[in-house]
Amino acid sequence: MARSILDNLEQLTGKTLLVRVDFNCPLAEGQVADSTRIDRVLPGLKKLTDAGARLVLLSHLGRPKGQRLPQFSLQPVCDYLSSALGYSVPLLAEPVAAERPAAGKIVMLENLRFWPEEEANDQGFAARLAALGDIYVNDAFSCAHRAHASTDALARLLPAFAGPVMVTELQAVGAALEDPQRPVAAVVGGAKVSTKLDVLTHLIDKVDILLLGGGMANTFLAAKGMDMGASLMEPDLIDTAADIIAAADKKGCKLMLPEDGLAAVEFKAGAAHRHIPNHAILNAEMMLDIGPTAISHYQEALAGARTVLWNGPMGAFEIAPFDRATVALARTVASATQAGELLSVAGGGDTVAALNHAGVTEQFSYVSLAGGAFLEYIEGKTLPGVAVLAE
């Protein structure tokens, strides 16, 4: 298990910490447009500075591909931090050790991906970064699936610890998958089976109930002999879906598929749609959400769960009324969570946007902002940025 930096606060006075964060947030007109990622780590950063530590923040932004492109500068992030913290947070153009911050203060290095050596996990670049500080802290779980200089090589050059958010992420997912209260239900949606194959294969070994929705459910329904009309589907994965259904049955995992849905010929706001059982779909129609019968059955399954892991929307939630299932089931989980009846952990891909749309993000036990890292972790894969902290 990775060591937590919060267990070592008394040793931080006067020390310079290199803190890997993920401030890869959207910008608009030179300002931070969505500060969610920054706001989540700020309380932990304040605990470190209150303990007398000096912080050098390390982050990437976008994909500048080793070029110094002004639209990818972290200056807007520094401006936001300066406003939030009440003092100026300078942006360092180069990793120069002489520019360490004052005690209890923060500086930020320019976008790590301005240097091609970052994504190459270059040892020399990691050594230049290491010269900036005394201790390494990774508080960017969302970047932990990448073996880059700032997540892997650097952690091998200094005493390395997990930051507060990283620890919370690992504990939350661990509570849902490694030592959960049972029954455990997983709600898995999204467009394609191909992006969730490893997730599904791993989950049928871990959970008691697997509830499928979204476009990926169409491929599973096709594997059970259903004609899904013009619905989004992956014909080349029908046999794979059938294998997953068989494996779940063999391992005692109850795999649930929708019996009905909302179908439409067009995917657009105001499109004519109808509620139908799966077998009644027409050739020109697409299933764009699971139906009320399926919602009711899924809610009954969730009512008996004590742990819920959620990844992906149940339908095309971006446009009403195809958001009904996502909203209804998310609120069911949120309500049970708030009543103390279950632990709920969500993350990956469009999950945060879907839960925000349902208005329940703050009512889940934990919602991870990580995309690929969250998926790889629940697939059972080793994340380089986590593994190195335990060495």
pTM of the model: 0.89
Residues in the chain: 391
Which residue is catalytic, options 66, 371, 372, 380? 372
Domains and CATH numbers, the chain: 5-166 (3.40.50.1260), 180-378 (3.40.50.1260)
Q: Is 372 among the residues known to form the active site?
A: yes
181 within 8 A of 308, measured Cβ to Cβ: no
Residue 9 is encoded by which pair of tokens? 């606060």
Pick the catalytic residue: 261, 312, 349, 385?
A: 349
Q: Which of 90, 88, 165, 103 is CA-nearest to residue 134? A: 103
Helices and strands of the chain, counted as H and E runs: 13, 17
Which residues sit opposite 112 in a β-bridge?
none
Residue 133 C-beta-side C-alpha neighbours within 13 Å: 34
Is residue 192 annotated as a catalytic residue, yes or no? Answer: yes
Give the active site residue among 3, 47, 100, 192.
192
pLDDT for the residue 98: 63
Radius of gyration of the chain (CA): 23
> E strand or H helix at 275, and its extent?
strand 273-277
What is the structure's pLDDT at 102? 86
- Non-local (6+) Cβ contacts of 124 within 8 A are 117
- Selected catalytic residue, list 15, 37, 196, 324: 37
Question: Mind listing the pLDDT tens digit of every residue in the chain (391 residues)?
Answer: 688 999 989 999 999 999 999 999 999 999 999 999 999 999 999 999 999 999 999 999 999 999 999 999 999 999 999 999 999 999 999 997 766 788 899 999 999 999 999 999 999 999 999 999 999 999 999 999 999 999 999 999 999 999 999 999 999 988 888 889 999 999 999 988 898 888 999 999 999 999 999 999 999 999 999 999 999 999 999 999 999 999 999 999 999 999 999 999 999 988 899 999 999 999 999 999 999 999 999 999 999 999 999 999 999 999 999 999 999 999 999 999 999 999 999 998 789 999 999 999 999 999 999 988 998 888 888 999 999 998 7
Residue 51, H or E segment: none
